[in-house]
């Protein structure tokens, strides 16, 4: 019997069909988005909070965020112990939330909310943390208020109620923004009131018309010794006209020069004598206060004597003021107890023109203005020495930056 030849074609055809089926099945193994590889489809949302859960001693101005991987934020809130919600903002892709205001010291904050993963399932946003507890919070003040107009010699003064140890960190937290740009620098001064004092002075007198913005980001700042800043400070003010009092003691006269023009030339009497305290100091004084009426004392010479049109130029008791008792000496002799005496009419004419920060340049006396005469002797210090009084020695003296945003009150 003859053998039939084997027919293998149908088997090959079946194999081809199986290969197609297998290929189709393999084609369905990609993610739902049709992309191959390890996609995020079906993944559980991963929530990260910063600071971490149960963290302590968190700085109240440190970044505070929630971030979500493999999902988005559905709802979220950070609240304090009283249930007050902290302000914040959600990113456009709903993957990040950050707070936009400072927190309080010594306070506990709690997260609540929900994230939704790529798997469509909710994941809780929870946890809590606690901010640091300062030994003390230290208030500070700035000497020039918002909207104030100042004279061309006015320094900016920050006065801290307690000593500052981390002086360099404080300076880094300060900006002085000026228009036009003005070269200047910070300098630390001795403080006899139990605190710390910091002055910013331009290298030369301010340019008239300069706009100034001061920002001190002190809240949350470690001042050293367990002390932290109490609050941020800002001030926006303007430099007025140029007015300089030129006071040469041997001449027995005083000129008031405004924008380069002499507007007054008064006969005056300066302080001389055999006691140092009665000598008007030579150097650049600065107008700080003025009073229509002021009680002056200089024991044993006089006590609580009412003087008119008094403009303070130093904390050692020096004023420019009216004194009818020295009228006969004005213009010819120096007989006062340290002040610059004018006639009542001349003093009244000068009084309304004086601004905080006007320079009073006294020359020709036997004693120079110094630190012993009070807290405003800034212009007796040469620029090179002034720069060494900064805690950031070697840094650029010029301080000009964009105006910072001051956050609202802590919650």
Residue numbers annotated as active site: 321, 339
Q: Say how far apart CA 140 and CA 118 lie, in whole Å.
A: 50
DSSP 368: B
52: tokens are: 């971490």
Q: Which residues contact 101 (CB under 8 A, 6 or more apart)?
A: 86, 87, 407, 408, 409, 410, 411
DSSP 154: P
Nearest Cα to 329, choosing from 411, 253, 256, 396? 253
Q: Which residues contact 229 (CB under 8 A, 6 or more apart)?
A: 137, 138, 140, 173, 218, 219, 220, 221, 223
Nearest Cα to 143, choosing from 200, 220, 204? 200
- For 83, phi then psi, to 5°, come to 85, 5
Nearest Cα to 124, choosing from 58, 63, 65, 77? 77
Q: Cis omega (within 30 of 0) on the bond before 51?
A: yes
Task: Provide, for the chain, the percentages of residues in helix, strand and coil under a 3-state DSSP scheme, each rounded to the nearest 5.
Answer: 15, 40, 45
Q: From the CB of residue 339, how many other CB atoms can be counted at a distance below 10 Å?
A: 27
Nearest Cα to 217, choosing from 102, 105, 310? 102
207: tokens are: 């340019």
Rg (CA), the chain: 36
Q: Say how far apart CA 200 and CA 390 lie, in whole Å.
A: 10
């Amino acid at each position: 019997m003859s053998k039939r030849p084997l027919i293998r074609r149908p088997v090959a055809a079946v194999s081809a069909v199986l290969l197609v089926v297998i290929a189709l099945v393999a084609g369905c193994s990609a993610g739902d988005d049709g992309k191959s590889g390890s996609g995020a489809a079906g993944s559980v949302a991963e929530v990260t909070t910063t600071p971490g859960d149960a963290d302590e001693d968190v700085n109240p101005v440190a970044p505070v965020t929630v971030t979500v991987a493999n999902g988005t934020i559905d709802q979220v809130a950070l609240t304090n112990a009283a249930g007050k919600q902290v302000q914040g903002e959600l990113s456009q892709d709903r993957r990040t939330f950050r707070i936009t205001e400072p927190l309080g010291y010594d306070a506990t904050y709690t997260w609540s909310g929900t994230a939704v993963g790529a798997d469509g399932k909710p994941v809780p946003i929870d946890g809590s943390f606690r901010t640091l507890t300062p030994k003390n919070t230290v208030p500070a003040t700035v000497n020039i208020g918002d909207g104030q107009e100042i004279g061309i010699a006015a320094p900016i003064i920050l006065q801290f109620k307690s000593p500052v140890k981390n002086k360099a960190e404080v300076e880094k937290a300060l900006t002085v923004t000026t228009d036009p740009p003005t070269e200047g620098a910070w300098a630390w001064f001795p403080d006899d009131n139990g605190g710390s004092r910091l002055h910013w002075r331009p290298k030369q007198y301010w340019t008239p018309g300069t706009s100034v913005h001061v920002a001190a980001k002190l809240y949350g700042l470690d001042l050293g010794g367990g002390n932290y800043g109490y609050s941020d400070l800002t001030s926006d003010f303007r430099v007025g006209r140029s007015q300089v009092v030129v006071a040469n003691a041997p001449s027995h006269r005083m000129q008031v020069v405004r924008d380069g023009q002499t507007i007054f030339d008064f006969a005056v009497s300066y302080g001389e004598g055999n006691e140092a305290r009665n000598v008007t100091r030579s150097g650049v004084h600065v107008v700080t206060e003025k009073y229509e009426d002021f009680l002056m004392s200089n024991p044993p010479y006089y006590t609580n004597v009412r003087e008119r049109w008094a403009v303070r130029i130093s904390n050692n008791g020096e004023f420019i003021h009216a004194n009818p008792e020295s009228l006969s000496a004005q213009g010819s002799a120096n007989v006062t107890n340290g002040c610059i005496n004018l006639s009542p009419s001349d003093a009244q004419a000068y009084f309304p023109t004086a601004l905080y920060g006007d320079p009073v340049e006294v020359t020709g006396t036997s004693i120079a203005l110094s630190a012993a005469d009070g807290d405003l002797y800034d212009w007796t210090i040469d620029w090179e020495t002034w720069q060494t009084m900064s805690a950031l020695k070697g840094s650029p003296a010029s301080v000009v930056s964009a105006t910072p945003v001051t956050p609202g009150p802590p919650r």
